[in-house]
Amino acid sequence: MIFFGSLLRSPPLYSEPSGFRALLHVAIERLCQRYKLALSFAVCLCLAAPVHASHPDTYLDTKTPMISTASDNQPIDDNAAVEATVNENTLTIENVKNINGLAPASLWQPELKEPSLYALLDAEFSADRGDRQRAVAIYKQQSFKEDATVVFERALSLSLRNERVEDSLQFAKTWQDQNPDHVPAWFYVAHLALRAHDYILAGETLNRILRYDPRADLSEILIGIYPNNDDDKRELLAALQPLDSEQNASLSVLKAGLLYQFNEPEVAIVHINRALDRQPDYVPFITLKADILRKIVTAETVINYVSQARLRNPDSKSLYLYEIRYLLDLKQSEQAWKLLLEAHNRFSDDAEITLLAALVSLDVEEYASADELLNMLAKSPAYLDQAYYYLGISAERQQQFDQAKTYLNGVMQEDLVLEARRKVVAFELLDDDVDAAIATLEKLRKDFTVFAPDAFVMQADILWQQNESDEALRLLTRAARKYPDNEMLLFARAQLLDDKEDYIVKRTLLNHLQALDPSNLSYQLSYAQLLLANERSSEQGLALATAIIKIHYDDPRYDNELHLQALNILASNALANKNYQQVIDYLQTPYDVLPTLRSGALLLRAYQGLGNNERVEALLADLQQRFSFGQHNINDRIQLY
């Protein structure tokens, strides 16, 4: 089995003193054996070599590049090794300085067949000084000498860190062509060809490796090479298909993964089974087979397969989590919860398992279990905030609102604190304690300035609900001066402006927001409403709202709330134009699926306009029942629409 990958993962050699010493040791020993130089000479050479010495600056794209420079108007082969002609005891720094370009050319020897220690030292010093291009060029040039495997690997390592992958591939392929029997180079070329999406070369090289060793470990070659787009995946699969992977687990699993993604599970299962024949208890292979099975067998069969694999590997947390998450996908929360408690008992110190068990306990309304698990989790500083947040959720669901506020006020983790305080504000408003709600928001602004705009918007919303629209608008105006580039504040302010009385200001704000974010559907919809409120036949307003309701539910831009708002805006415009049937066409189905007071009120007025008293009475009764309003209140609400 061939080892591969340390080269591609290792940091540069000049940052590893031990690696550098090892390379020097190998190079010095080689030169000493050839020229019988004393070790002290190499040390002197390292210390005395001036940084301005002439060296190769470019890598010529040939198999055996020749690079030379000139010093003192004399051509000097920069790759020549220096051989001392004086006795070791008489060698001095001045001798070395003279040798380094100041002495007559007769001191330079003809080009070496093996790598030059001088050149390698110069390359390392160049790399250490940040001149990576020079270091790569020298190393590449020296790697084409005889017996230069270590130099090649260092050259490739530097190339991978400082050049395009295509350049590294070209260098590795050229070196491998010159050294066809160096097996590790095949692995390097295969990996780089895959990264460079040269799937023809990758297939040829992988085939060569498999002929040499059908069971070769290809896992390192395949790390980080999985294509991102379908075209590359198809090319890779086409390159791999002719390769005999029957005895090679890593190649089999790669084929299986690609076939699975291209919805060929029946063929994929053949390849993953081959991989499992070689490594039957390797968890990633097991979970990939489970993924494939999910496309061709029943859920019960998949669960049985994973469960059996988990029993064979009782210490595999991954298999527990796979089965649990699959059960949750199947909406089998009770079974998932029981398995989670089993996993928690086995992995009692695993916070991830504990947290997941607590959340599923909440989901199945096992609050005692959830609270016990979360209190255990709260003992870990890293999970304290999450524990408090979900303890607050648990208390809320049990209608223990004071307890919920206590926990949620204790949450200080930045990604949870905003939602935690939002819930606290909701509880305080539930108690009609507006002052406490505003105090919570003011403290949030003080403690977490990053959430100050959110706090201002929430406070303005509270003021608006208290029929203090003017105060809310003043608050947002002050906040916008403090945070002039915050879109949330600008949009909230625009929402409070009247469509007709503040038309110019609101239009200016919305145009500015659309310029900042042209794809924002909320800005577009608000602008459509503004236009239609001032001109019933506005083509732009109708086009903007209609475009939003035409967004399909599986489109990433789809938002159910915005969709309903757009329908209401179009229905309001149709109602204003006395097109009652169109109002019904817009809203009857959405109201049946997800009834809202505004949609119901618009529908009621449309049926009144048509004189359909039977539907009016039925809908009025439904509104009274759903939204707990009496006849008088319903009529007041209807007038708003």
* 577-591 residue pLDDT tens: 999 999 999 999 999
More confident residue, 471 or 83: 471
Q: What is the SS3 assignment for 524?
A: helix
Structure confidence at residue 626 (pLDDT): 84
Structure confidence at residue 143 (pLDDT): 86
- Contact yes or no for 412/392 (Cβ under 8 A): no
Structure confidence at residue 66 (pLDDT): 32
- Contact yes or no for 32/39 (Cβ under 8 A): yes
Q: What is the SS3 assignment for 169?
A: helix
Based on its alpha-carbon atoms, the radius of gyration of the chain, rounded to whole angstroms, reads 37
Amino acid at 635: N
Tell me the C-alpha distance between 135 and 143, whole Å.
12
In the numeric block, which tokens belong to residue 362? 């909440």
Highest mean predicted confidence (pLDDT) among 51-65, 149-163, 608-622 = 608-622
pTM of the model: 0.66
Tell me the C-alpha distance between 424 and 30, whole Å.
75
Is it the case that residue 42 has pLDDT exceeding 70? no
Structure confidence at residue 7 (pLDDT): 41
Q: Which residue has the tokens 């292979």?
A: 285
- Contact yes or no for 150/179 (Cβ under 8 A): no
Question: pLDDT confidence of 11, banded at 50, 70, 90?
Answer: very low
The string over 331-351, giving b where at least 16 C-beta atoms fall within 10 Å of a residue's C-beta and e elsewhere, is: ebbeebbebbbebbeebeeeb
Between 201-215, 276-290, 341-355, 488-502, the lowest mean confidence (pLDDT) is in 201-215
Question: pLDDT confidence of 238, banded at 50, 70, 90?
Answer: confident
